[in-house]
Structure 1
């Protein structure tokens, strides 16, 4: 909106207010008064022209980039949608598997370990996580890497898939979103980390989880949450004060 447009709009509002005020000035009787109760107190509220005055103010918006407009920014009345990150999309089985795997976070790496009370190695960790949701895997990586079905590339990987590297010497679990979880090496613990795996250094990717039945609900990202725009109430009040001063 240009300065000329803004001035024209203000003049239009002034004309409208003048027309609304004229009948009230000519009226012989006092304008009707209604009472609005808030809590335990009652306050008189003048109806008629005052209501139309409020409606006229509500329709007017003065952009902040108009010189001389007082720097009042346009603030839409609707809430602003702010995206809130949610979980990586996954089947219900994958969600259960990842929950089971993350229950072992903090368990120390122990070579040959299969008992979380004393420690887990990489293959012992994934074997245990899958067993927790009722799926049995072989004990060592070289056997695990032949289980399930092959996934051609990381671009097609899904949460819960197993990532085998170092010629089958190490296995981690893909979580999606550039994250993986594993029992890495002596001195470390089971933990979620940024992926260092790539198609170039992976020996194979294996999908162990069965395909989700048709129509099964997935764990979808949370929908954006509508939150009020910061400062919206203050800016709206400033708009009304500015237009009221221009109308006088």
Structure 2
């Protein structure tokens, strides 16, 4: 259940609860309603803050996509190959990868041998996605898969960083490494940010029950509050 759905459900329960107060002392009903509203506001503030915080931390760690890596790599097209270079004045193959990953907030070793252990392994070229790192046999070279069967790399002395048709086959490859989640995986934390977790819903229910516990004794049916809370919990968790 999302936070919005929870609010709507709770408002319905509040209306039902207030209706059950009919025939009781007016001040007690008013107090119960005010207490309910205060508890609801406080509990929702806590749960929504907690949910947003979780999404924020996930976003900062997992918001980079393979397309982001490709876009950043394209900024360096035309940079001359310089052995050991890591700047726009010149870079080698592993220097390009390290610089691009640093730009998007991913820490990377300096040499191909270290970069070949980043992220998670991809089974084959058929499974490659934009932003994946392709390492040649014996860690001799590393390129960035750009999608559409193209790669971006710093080729060799006398040449520049370029985007070219992929010439590699699986037989040429030591490993393919995925250092950024797919677009769908990166989007999932954001989509879950509006949902209340079980622990947050429990906190919400406890706050409401605590605020109305005293007033529930004035209702015509002593089990009404428990029934309403059970209804909310059953629909939310």
- TM-score with structure 2 setting the length: 0.50
2:111 maps to 140
Cα distance in 1, alignment partners of residues 117 and 189 from structure 2: 29
2:135 maps to 164
2:66 maps to 94
Cα distance in 2, alignment partners of residues 113 and 154 from structure 1: 28
Are residues 214 and 155 of structure 1, via their aligned partners in 2, closer, same or farther at CA, if it must alter by over 3 Å?
Answer: same
SS at match of 2:186: coil
Cα distance in 2, alignment partners of residues 166 and 107 from structure 1: 25
Cα distance in 1, alignment partners of residues 176 and 100 from structure 2: 17
Ranges in structure 1 where 5+ consecutive residues have no aligned partner: 1-90, 218-248
Higher helix share: 2
2:215 maps to none
- TM-score with structure 1 setting the length: 0.48
Bigger shift: 154-163 or 92-101?
92-101
* Runs (4+) off by over 3 Å: none
Are residues 92 and 127 of structure 1, via their aligned partners in 2, closer, same or farther at CA, if it must alter by over 3 Å?
Answer: closer
1:124-159 CA deviation, whole Å, 9 max, x = no partner?
A: 001111111111111000011011110010111110
| 1:175 paired to 2:146 | yes
Cα distance in 2, alignment partners of residues 169 and 92 from structure 1: 27
Larger Rg: 1
1:85 maps to none
Cα distance in 1, alignment partners of residues 111 and 91 from structure 2: 12
Cα distance in 2, alignment partners of residues 199 and 98 from structure 1: 21
Shift of 1:216: 6.8
Higher strand share: 1
2:80–2:159 CA contact under 8 A, matched in 1: yes
Cα distance in 2, alignment partners of residues 195 and 112 from structure 1: 24
SS at match of 1:206: strand
| 1:110 paired to 2:82 | yes
Cα distance in 2, alignment partners of residues 155 and 132 from structure 1: 27
Ranges in structure 2 where 5+ consecutive residues have no aligned partner: 1-62, 192-237
Cα distance in 2, alignment partners of residues 169 and 207 from structure 1: 19
